[in-house]
């Protein structure tokens, strides 16, 4: 029985070098990250030390920590010729990470290439992460359909993660991107999946980061405004990064305990002190073991 964290980030040497080779956002100058839409961010180098992070995973009681490309950086939205060196660097190192790490693949969404993504998935990635702002409406689902078809064919899950903040966010406080555009993106992605994603991809398993921006708590308004009444979707999950007992308890009431998986967003946030978020041992087992297993494999 393996305890899993489905949401971590780890910048390996090849990705760091590729970001430092750029002169326009996204790029690294030493360990300072420059993005459109966010203030410069000084990256603590230790946060991306593989051995130290493996020790942290062990201290957290994890048997597996799944890392992904940091989608807010915006690599997936670059033109393919610019995205490819960064994606290649990420995939090369992520595929070779030692235990307890596993990884989500990434893909260019400016110019979708399902054949290239298929080759990356062949290397053992657990599924595919896409930025939420690529899946925010009908046009986004139509554009990304070849990637989602590929996941359905292979029985692999989709991880929906916030994408880049809108330009102009660099003028606000440091917490603004995480609290406003990231949450808005996840809210839109949740309802876009209901409206456009699930009808087109009936067998797709999907996990939404940060409790889908708490969109599941709008179920009563959804009903009041004419949203179709539907049963719980057993192949839709939300992960817990940056939230605590109040939000997790509310989402469990809205979706049921089987929909929640543990995600920490390390190194940007820490996992909960109590894995069950105060809901007891059975909830902790569901969040860390049983539900991640269903998300990743489709098996009970």
The arithmetic mean of pLDDT across residues 91-107, rounded, is 97
Helix 181-192, helix 138-154: angle, nearest 10: 70
Q: What is the pLDDT of residue 270?
A: 86
| Under 8 Å between Cβ of 276 and 299 | no
Measured distance between the N- and C-terminal CA atoms of the chain, rounded to whole angstroms = 12
pLDDT in tens, 43-89: 999 999 999 999 999 999 999 999 999 999 999 999 999 999 999 99
pTM for this prediction: 0.96
- Given a cut of 80, whether residue 293 has pLDDT beyond it is yes
Contact call for residues 5 and 271 (beta carbons, < 8 A)? yes
CB 191 within 8 A of CB 215: yes
Reduce the DSSP state of residue 288 to 3 states and report it: helix
Q: What pLDDT does 206 receive?
A: 98
Contact criterion met (CB below 8 Å) for 64 and 102? yes
The position carrying tokens 């599941």 is: 216
- pLDDT tens-digit readout, 1-21: 799 999 999 999 999 999 999
- Express each pLDDT in 141-150 by its tens digit: 999 999 999 9
Q: What single DSSP character describes residue 104?
A: -
> Is 90 exceeded by the pLDDT of residue 234?
yes
pLDDT mean across residues, the chain: 94
Nearest to 10 by CA among 42, 62, 71, 53: 53
Per-residue pLDDT band for 288 (boundaries 50, 70, 90) equals: very high
How many Å separate Cα 73 from the centre of its chain? 13
pLDDT at 249 over 90: yes
Of 101-110, 139-148, 177-186, 223-232, the range with the lowest mean pLDDT is 223-232
Q: What's the pLDDT tens digit per position in 167-198?
A: 655 577 888 889 999 999 999 999 999 999 99
Residues 257/270/11/38 CA torsion (nearest 10 deg): 100
Name the phi and psi angles at 197, rounded to 5. -75, -50
Task: Answer for the pair 187, 94: CB distance below 8 angstroms, yes or no.
Answer: no
Tokens of 66: 């799944």
Task: Give the distance from CA 128 to its chain's centroid.
Answer: 9
Helices 80-94, 13-20: axis angle to 10 degrees equals 160
């Amino acid at each position: 029985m393996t305890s899993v964290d489905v949401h971590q980030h780890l910048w390996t040497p090849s990705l760091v070098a590729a970001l430092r080779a750029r002169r326009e956002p996204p790029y690294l100058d030493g360990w300072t990250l420059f993005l459109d839409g966010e203030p410069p961010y000084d990256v603590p180098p230790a946060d991306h030390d593989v051995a130290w992070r493996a020790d942290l995973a062990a201290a957290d009681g994890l048997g597996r920590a799944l890392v992904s490309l940091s989608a807010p950086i915006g690599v997936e939205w670059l033109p393919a010729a610019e995205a490819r060196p960064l994606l290649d660097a990420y995939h090369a190192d992520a595929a070779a990470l030692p235990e307890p790490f596993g990884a989500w693949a990434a893909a260019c969404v400016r110019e979708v290439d399902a054949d290239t993504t298929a080759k990356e998935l062949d290397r053992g990635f657990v599924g595919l992460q896409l930025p939420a702002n690529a899946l925010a409406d009908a046009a986004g689902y139509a554009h990304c359909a070849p990637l989602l078809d590929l996941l359905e064919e292979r029985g692999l899950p989709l991880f929906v993660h916030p994408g880049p903040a809108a330009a102009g966010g660099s003028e606000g406080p440091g917490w603004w991107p995480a609290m406003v555009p990231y949450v808005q993106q996840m809210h839109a992605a949740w309802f876009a999946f209901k409206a456009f994603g699930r009808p087109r991809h009936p067998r797709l398993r999907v996990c939404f980061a940060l409790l889908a921006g708490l969109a599941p708590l709008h179920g009563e308004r959804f009903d009041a405004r004419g949203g179709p009444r539907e049963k719980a979707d057993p192949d839709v999950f939300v992960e817990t990064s940056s939230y605590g007992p109040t939000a997790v308890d509310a989402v469990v009431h809205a979706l049921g305990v089987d929909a929640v998986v543990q995600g920490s967003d390390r190194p940007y946030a820490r996992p909960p002190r109590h894995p069950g978020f105060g809901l007891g041992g059975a909830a902790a087992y569901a969040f860390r073991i049983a539900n991640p297993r269903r998300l990743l494999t489709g098996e009970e």
